[in-house]
Amino acid sequence: MGKIQIFTGEGRGKTPAALGEALMAAALGKQVVIIQFLKGRGLQESLYQKRLEPEIKLFRFEKSDCDFFELSEEKRKEEVHNIRNGLNFAKKVLTTGECDLLILDEVLELTGNSLIEEEDLKNVLEARGEYTDVILTGTQAPEGIRAMADAISEIHRAR
């Protein structure tokens, strides 16, 4: 079964650590898919991102460029639907084995803010094949997700 790695904690650097793993995997000729959640614009608008393809593909299913928590209730509901589409896409990527490394950037914030259930994320992770590794980032990793992990890196704020 593919490995699960978690970058979590209140400190900065979780996403850059995951992106570093993506670059190392791509340098080894592996295919990487990154799905970003709750990032506003995130890296999607970057011209640099296009130069990473085809080895590294980046997706963002949310439509709003604004912070999710500043959206109206109606817009939040739309975005939750888009977020679920992103999770369904992640499950498809894992089921079809279309990449060697899947990064779910800020996915742990979805469970921490009750936008999805922990079971939803577990179902996605259980779809991974023998050779597909998964990296999850976010400030709080639920115990059930931690129990599935092969490695957890806690990133703390500097004192």
- Evaluate the CA torsion angle 128, 148, 15, 70 in order and state its sign: positive
Is the CATH number of domain 4-154 3.40.50.300? yes
pLDDT digits (tens, 9 = 90+) for 39-94: 765 555 556 667 777 899 999 888 777 777 777 888 888 888 899 999 999 999 99
CA end-to-end distance (rounded Å), the chain:
38
Q: Is the pTM of this model over 0.85?
A: yes
| Share above pLDDT 70 across residues of the chain, in percent, rounded to a whole number | 93
pLDDT at 45: 54
The secondary structure of the chain in percent helix, strand, coil, rounded to multiples of 5, reads: 40, 20, 40
pLDDT digits (tens, 9 = 90+) for 132-152: 999 999 999 999 999 999 999
Alpha helix ranges (H) inside 28-72 = 47-52
Delimit the domains of the chain by residue range.
Answer: 4-154
Q: What is the DSSP string of 92-111?
A: HHHHHT--SEEEEETHHHHH
For the segment 12-34, the average pLDDT, to the nearest whole number, is 95
pLDDT digits (tens, 9 = 90+) for 89-101: 999 999 999 999 9
Give SS3 for 154: strand
Q: d(Cα 93, Cα 1) in Å, to the nearest integer? A: 15
Q: What is the DSSP string of 23-38?
A: HHHHHTT--EEEEE-S
The CA-based angle 147-18-37, given to 5 degrees, is: 80
In degrees and rounded to multiples of 5, residue 7 shows phi and psi of -110, 115
pLDDT at 1: 79
pLDDT at 158: 84
Q: Structure tokens of 110? A: 């979805």
